[in-house]
Amino acid sequence: MGLQVNVGQSSLFVMLNSAELIRRLPLLDGKLHLYEQLNSSNDRAAELVREGEGSGTLVVAEQQTKGRGRGGKSWTCPAGEGLLFSFVLEPDYEKVYWPRLALAAGLAVAEAAERYGVEAEIKWPNDVWVGGKKLAGILVEGCEDCAVVGIGLNVSVGKFPEEVQATSLALEGVGRIEREALLVDILQRLIGWGSRCGSGFEQLVEACNKRCALRNEWVQLYEGGEKRVGVLRGISSEGYLVLEAEGESRLVAQADSVRPLLGELGN
């Protein structure tokens, strides 16, 4: 299937250059789907998988009207001021390991941000933070024999509502950003780290722990609806969160609302 670019008549921003994306990453030739607006890039990518497309398919939306993150939380970004995309992979490891792709994607974004001088952290399980504020969110979903990795990254957003704890590369002092170069950089890193979610996962975990947000800090989270409080000690060799409470370490495979506790509760 050839390149698909859907552009409306009301664009007030410069869309990504599809030819430049393919020039920088030839594997996208015939697999790139660029839209001015979509409900959800993950949903569109899943539709394409069901229609027969596979690994390497990239869906990019300049704006999403029903973008979502983990747990169904909404994700919004002004048109043309971010990178909102979904990339399809066909992992050669068991599906039980696919959730690890969230860490691989977070690491890919963090490393790409570091090239611009931004010290980014991986906030387990699926966010990238800078200074306690959200720079990017990740959503990994399965569709048939493929994994759809959705990433929303704030690039040039200049202001967020006061109630939103978020940031962008621009707000972190990065000047002009060529979004095509940034997107390709992230994809290349995602392909590389994504291949290590089976064998070689220890290297990915080590790299993530070096950038682990809230490490050695008191946090609260909800596991299966039950509130837990403890010190976040990092990410385990299986990709789980390590929570220390009352002198014992607990491995948390899934949790909601991992948040720092206010005040000094201990070391």
- Give per-residue pLDDT as tens, 119-156: 999 999 999 999 999 999 999 999 999 999 999 999 98
Asked if 213 and 129 touch (Cβ cutoff 8 Å), the reply is: yes
Strand (E) or helix (H) holding 65: none
Q: DSSP letter at 199?
A: T
CA 125/CA 129 separation, integer angstroms: 12
- Range 163-196 burial, b when 16+ CB lie within 10 A, else e: eeebbbbbbbebeeeebbebbbbbbebbbebbbb
Angle at 231 between CA 227 and CA 235, to 5 degrees: 95
E-strand stretches of 110-261: 121-123, 127-130, 133-143, 146-154, 217-223, 226-235, 241-245, 248-252, 256-260
Share of residues in the chain with pLDDT > 90 (%): 79
Mean pLDDT of 190-210: 97
Model confidence pLDDT, tens digit, residues 205-253:
999 999 999 999 999 999 988 999 999 999 999 999 999 998 899 999 9
